[in-house]
Structure 1
Amino acid sequence: MPALEARAEDLAARLSALGLTTRVELHATYVSIEAEVPDALPADSWREVLEVVAEADRFGLLASSLTGRTLWAAIRNVVPATGDVRGPGHQR
C-alpha cells in the first residue's frame, strides 16, 4: 500500500476508533476521508477528532439540517511547490 493510502487509512482507523463511520476515496491528486458525525458526540471526543484531522493537509465540516454533519479531510499526493497554491498555473 503506498504511503499516501496508508496515511489516509490510518486517519480513517483513528476516526473509527472514536466512534465515527468513515469512508476513504482515492482521487487523482488527493485522498479524501469523510466521516458522519453523530449529534451526540461528546466534547472530549471532538477534541480528539480535531487532533486526528489536523494531521491532514486540509479538513473541514459540512453541516446541514437535511444531511447532518460530515467531517472531511484531504491528503494531497503531491507536495505543492509553494506554501499557497490556488490550482494549476496559479502559484505565487
Structure 2
Amino acid sequence: MEILITVRRMSLENSDFITILLTALVLILFIVSLRVAESIMKTSARKDEMIRKVWKYDSQGKERNETIERLIPDSSFREREAEYLYGRAMK
C-alpha cells in the first residue's frame, strides 16, 4: 500500500514539473516571437522610409543612378539593395 502511494506522489510531482517546464517553454517562445515581429516591423518601416526618399529624389529630378548613389550613404544599403528599393518605389 505504501509503495502505491509513493508511486502516485512521484507521478504527480513529475506531471507538475512537466507542466511548469512546458509553461516556461511557451513563455520563452512567446517572448522570442514578439522580438522577431518587432524586428520585422522595424525593417519594413525602414524600407518604407527609403522608398519615400526615392520618391523625394525622383521628384527633385534626379536620375536613376544619382538616386541610387544618394540612397547608399543615407541608409547604409549596398548597391544591390538600393537598386531593388528604387525599382520597388517606381512600380
TM over 0.5: no
More contact order relative to length (CA 8 Å, sep ≥ 6): 1
Q: TM-score, normalised on structure 1?
A: 0.32
Larger radius of gyration: 2
Q: TM-score, normalised on structure 2?
A: 0.32
Determine which structure has the larger helix proportion and give its number. Answer: 2
Determine which structure has the larger strand proportion and give its number. Answer: 1
